[in-house]
Amino acid sequence: MSNGYQFPFGEYVHPVVQDDRNPKKVFVLGVYASAVHAKWVDKNGKIVCKALAVASEPQIFWDGNEKEAKEIINRIEIPSELGHLELPDKNLNGPSAKALDERILAPLGFERNDAWLCDLLPESRLNGGQLVAISKKYNPFLEKLANEGLSEVTVPKKPEKFCDKERIKEITKELLESQADLLILLGDKPIQQYLKKVVKVPYRGLDEYRKLFEYGKCTDVAIGGKMIKVLPLAHPRQIARLGSSSKKWYAIHQKWLAEQNNKKGS
145-151, long-range: CB < 8 A, 24+ apart: 145/79, 145/81, 145/82, 148/79, 148/81, 149/10, 149/77, 149/79, 150/9, 150/78, 150/79, 150/82, 151/6, 151/9, 151/10
Instruction: Please choose, from the candidates 152, 145, 130, 12, the residue with its C-alpha nearest in 3D space to the C-alpha of residue 76.
Output: 12
Whole-model pTM: value is: 0.95
CB burial of 228-259 (b: ≥16 within 10 Å; e: otherwise) equals bebbbbbbbbbbbeeeebbeebbebbeebbee
Domain ranges (residues) in the chain: 8-265
- Mean pLDDT for all residues in the chain: 95
* Whole-number pLDDT of residue 243: 80
Q: Which helix (H) or strand (E) holds 47?
A: strand 47-56
* Whole-number pLDDT of residue 149: 85
Q: What is the mean pLDDT of residues 141-163?
A: 93
Is 51 in contact with 37 (CB distance < 8 Å)? Answer: yes
User: Is 146's pLDDT higher than 90?
Assistant: no
Return the percentage of the chain with pLDDT > 90, whole number.
92
* Whole-number pLDDT of residue 125: 97
Measure the CA–CA gap between 134 and 51, rounded to whole angstroms: 11
Q: What is the mean pLDDT of residues 114-135?
A: 97
pLDDT-based confidence at 245, cuts 50/70/90? confident
User: Is 59's pLDDT higher than 90?
Assistant: yes
User: Is 27's pLDDT higher than 70?
Assistant: yes
* Whole-number pLDDT of residue 2: 53
Lowest mean pLDDT among 32-41, 143-152, 210-219: 143-152
pLDDT-based confidence at 248, cuts 50/70/90? very high
Give bridge partners of residue 221 from the DSSP assignment: 228
pLDDT tens digits, one per residue of 174-216: 999 999 999 999 999 999 999 999 999 999 999 999 999 999 9
Count CA atoms within 13 Å of residue 51 on its CB side.
Answer: 18
